[in-house]
Amino acid sequence: MPGETEIYEAQGFGNSVGIGDAPALLIVDFVNGFADPEMFGGGNIPEAIAATVALLDFARARTWPVAMTRMVFADDGSDANMFTAKVPGLLALTETSIAGQIVPDLAPMPGELVVRKRTPSAFFGTDLVPWLTARRIDTLFIAGCTTSGCIRASVLDANAHGFRPIVVTDCAGDRAPGPHEANLFDMGQKCADLMPFAEVAAHYDSNARAAAQ
């Protein structure tokens, strides 16, 4: 009986979206509450945050546009929705709450977009699409958490809006390994490319060397 990968290959899945000419970096929900295993964190999220520090430095050195997301709800919970019906604790992520702030190691710099959202996707009900299109972005490198939740939702919407989504695998985290691995596999087969940070860096370093010759 064929294995999972062979089944997908036989049906034509798993092709590459490729890297375009105008990249940006999207960091999804690396806030204090998701870094805390006592709140929404756990699993490999701390390691993914640590790996994203180098990715963010890499993007800034190349002047890529950078966007980061936060879950932000009203202090009085008046904007509660179906997501918070499933996970009521998310209502604690307000504008001023410590849990809702981007982790200090990835603090945004002036000119970087901070997207406030109330659903898993970085795109739904936000101004991320016009911000990216105004900068003629065609490729979106995506880091953050959780792989099975907000990363997946953001990848699906990036794909639907015509961006090339590339999940930087060692910079994506989840609170449990099973959902993390399963969703990486599924996204890689259907809607995104998967690349560790070292491969991303090698791609641009090799292009820079070729251009210098």
User: Domain 21-212 is classified in which CATH homologous superfamily?
Assistant: Isochorismatase-like (3.40.50.850)
Catalogue the active-site residues.
150
Report whether pLDDT(1) > 50: no
Residue 31 DSSP code: B
CA-nearest of 147, 166, 153 to 22 is 166
- Distance (Å) of CA 96 to CA 50, 102, 185: 24, 11, 36
What DSSP state is assigned to residue 12?
T
Q: Domain ranges for the chain, please list them.
A: 21-212
- For the stretch 141-199, pLDDT in tens is 999 999 999 999 999 999 999 999 999 999 999 999 999 999 999 999 999 999 999 99
**Diameter over CA atoms, the chain:** 60
Give per-residue pLDDT as tens, 95-132: 999 999 999 999 999 999 999 999 999 999 999 999 99
Q: What mean pLDDT comes out for the span 69-82?
A: 98
Q: In this structure, are residues 176 and 42 in contact, taking their beta carbons and an 8 Å threshold? A: yes
The answer to whether the Cα torsion of 175, 177, 179, 185 is positive or negative is positive
Q: In one letter, which amino acid is 193? A: D
In this predicted structure, the answer to whether residue 3 has a pLDDT above a threshold of 90 is no
In degrees, rounded to 5, the angle at the alpha carbon of residue 101 between the alpha carbons of residues 96 and 102 is 160
| pTM for the predicted model, two decimal places | 0.95
Handedness of CA 177, 179, 180, 181 (dihedral sign): positive
Average pLDDT over residues 47-67: 98
